Amino acid sequence: MSQTVTLSVAAATRLSIDLFVSLGMSEADAAASVWPLIDAETMGIATHGLIRVPAYARRLGLGGIDAAGKIVKDGERSGALLKIAAVQSKMNQQAAAMVSFDRARQIAQGIDTLNQKANLLIDLALALSAAGEQAQARQALDEAESVAKKILDRAFKKEVLKRIRETKGKIHA
């Protein structure tokens, strides 16, 4: 079931700018990118308005480059996807959010460093939980725990397992 989310122009502008900034754009570039979308939306041209924000953000997050033209590491790209999914979820675009969550999971699973993989899966669990996807959040946390058990360095393993315990408390609360 779809619900309509109503935001003030100021709130929609701020949310969109903050998303683009979180993906590496400068505040000025983000504002310059957002204003035409806001203008289109307020003029009733929704096809060229805020509906484009998630797609533009996804291109920044998935494109392998950031807003400054630098190569993006997988961990950063996964984090960007989680931010995109959170915004999509807030804008009640659950199907699009789930695609972003799934892509973040794929990136995390492809990372060789066990510590980084486990931490990205924990981040995914937290983002899924915040979006109301508790079952998937628990699944991501179970994956993180499975990965953490394979970490050889005791200090890293202890740190990751502690973070998993803390996250379980947040998800089950």
117 vs 166, higher pLDDT? 166
pTM above 0.85, yes or no: no
Same domain, 24 and 107: no
Same domain, 169 and 112: yes
Q: Which of 28, 50, 72 finishes a domain?
A: 72
Same domain, 4 and 84: no
Same domain, 99 and 141: yes
Residue 90 and residue 97: Cα distance in Å, rounded? 9
Same domain, 109 and 46: no
Give the pLDDT confidence score for residue 69 in this predicted structure.
40
Residue 61 and residue 151: Cα distance in Å, rounded? 28
For the chain, the domain total comes to: 2
Give the pLDDT confidence score for residue 161 in this predicted structure.
92
Local confidence band at 73 (pLDDT 50, 70, 90 cut-offs): low
Taking only the tens place, the pLDDT of each residue in 80-111 is 667 777 777 777 777 777 777 777 777 777 77
Same domain, 101 and 141: yes
Residue 108 and residue 102: Cα distance in Å, rounded? 10
SS3 label, residue 2: coil
Same domain, 96 and 157: yes
pLDDT exceeds cutoff 60 at 65: no
CATH number at residue 1: 1.10.1530.10
Same domain, 170 and 91: yes
Give me the domain span that covers residue 91. Answer: 73-173
Taking only the tens place, the pLDDT of each residue in 26-50 is 888 788 888 888 888 888 888 888 8
